[in-house]
Structures are given as C-alpha cells and as structure tokens.
Amino acid sequence: MKAYEAGPSTVPILTETVGGNLERTAAASSCANALIVAMQAHTRSQHGDLQSGTAA
C-alpha cells in the first residue's frame, strides 16, 4: 500500500522532497515571489529568501 493515492491525472505527482523542490526552484528563479501574505502588511518573500532562511 502506498502512502498516497493518485486518481486519473495528466499532472504527475512530485517525487522529490519539499527541501529538494525548494532548492531546485530557488536555483531556477531565486528572485521570483514565493510567498505573499496579504494579511501581514503584504509580506513578500522570494524563493531565495525562503531557501536561505531570511524570509520576512
């Protein structure tokens, strides 16, 4: 038995860890917005900030 279920879909399930995905995404687009929180004075964090642990 698998830890997840997957129904019919054309989009594949990611087979990497969250950390691995963040590293890959930050390397590809470290300045792109990754997290925008409107309820906290419109806080914005970029992929590179999240990876380095300096997200606001």
**DSSP per residue over the chain, as a string?**
--SS---S-SSPPP-S-HHHHHHHHHHHHTTSEEEEETTTTTEEEEHHHHHHT---
Overall pTM surpassing 0.85 (yes/no) = no
34 in a domain, yes or no?
A: yes
Range of the domain at 47: 18-52
Residue 39 falls inside a structural domain: yes
Q: Are 30 and 47 in contact (CB under 8 A)?
A: yes
2 occurs within a structural domain: no
Q: What pLDDT is stored for residue 47 in this prediction?
A: 75
Residue 8 included in any domain = no
Q: What is the pLDDT of residue 55?
A: 59
pLDDT for position 2? 57
Say how many domains are in the chain.
1
pLDDT in tens for each of the 56 residues of the chain?
A: 456 666 788 887 778 888 888 888 888 888 887 776 766 666 777 777 777 776 55
